Amino acid sequence: MNEKNKKQRLDQELFDRGLVSTKSKASALILSGQVKVGDQVVSKAGHFVKAEDAITIIQSMPYVSRGGLKLQGALEKIQLDPKDKLCLDVGASTGGFTDCLLQKGAKHVCCIDVGKGQLHPKIRNHTKVSWKESFHVKELRPTSFDHLFDLVVVDVSFISIQKVLPFLLPCMEPDGDLLVMLKPQFESQRKYLHKGVVTSEEKRQEILSDFTDWILAQGQYRIQANADAPIKGPKGNQETFFHLKKAN
């Protein structure tokens, strides 16, 4: 094989270039979302790269998870400001979205997740955060918390966004904002997935179009904007944020 076209694992390439002192350090940086190949954050140590690929180490992760970077990018593209807002984070997991909201000046963030014990201690112990664990979004009611929400952000897996939205609208203020991250692999039939990834851009666009049509058909929402997440999901899926508001 031509030396120029030779590929090797990203963790090995980081070590060979002298960017890290050990391969284990390389793996840790990659898994924490601190390595970019070209302009794309890569989170798999086994990702193959070429010798000529540009590799950059992001000096510090500003949030407790990569989710914070995704939300930050969406908020900036859509020009949505969480400052002084009461927020709900649906599918909070470790709290990346919540961390981003707090750093952007949110007044308070309520977190719900069907899992348990996932919230990062930084988020769990924050004075502006309250949370419900082992709590499915379908259990959500306007009385679940002691107030309605100005901004609801959503990052859920293994369920279609279409099944989630009906439980969110009643919990929002009349002029509230809803920012959902659509994951194409959970909106698609299994036959269109390759190892859990929607690899066809044509199919991904079809999924986005179908979701848009479904939203409009409900008559309950207005689509304000949409924007692709600035970094892809762990397996390589391109996720898309939709900014929705209640229909007048």
pLDDT in tens, 211-228: 999 999 999 999 999 999
**Of 33, 90, 36, 87, nearest in space to 62 by CA:** 33
**Of 177, 182, 170, nearest in space to 239 by CA:** 182
What's the pLDDT score for residue 59? Answer: 67
Average pLDDT in the 37-47 region?
Answer: 88
What's the pLDDT score for residue 24? Answer: 81
- The CATH number of 3-57 is 3.10.290.10
pLDDT in tens, 80-138: 999 999 999 999 999 999 999 999 999 999 999 999 999 999 999 999 999 999 999 99
Per the confidence metrics, is the pTM higher than 0.85?
A: no
pLDDT in tens, 122-134: 999 999 999 999 9
The amino acid at residue 113 is D
Average pLDDT in the 138-147 region?
Answer: 96
Domain with CATH 3.10.290.10 in the chain: 3-57
Q: Give the confidence band of 1 by pLDDT, cuts at 50, 70, 90.
A: very low
Q: What percent of the chain has pLDDT over 90?
A: 65
Domain with CATH 3.40.50.150 in the chain: 67-246
Is 3.90.1170.50 the CATH number for 67-246? no
3-class state of residue 103 by DSSP: helix
Average pLDDT in the 37-59 region?
Answer: 87
Q: Encode 166-206 in three state secondary structure.
A: HHCHHHEEEEEEEEEEECHHHCCCHHHCECCECCCHHHHHH
Question: Which pairs count as long-range contacts for 201-205, CB under 8 Å and 24+ apart, including other chains?
Answer: 204/238
CA separation for the pair 18, 137 (Å, rounded): 46
Average pLDDT in the 221-237 region?
Answer: 89
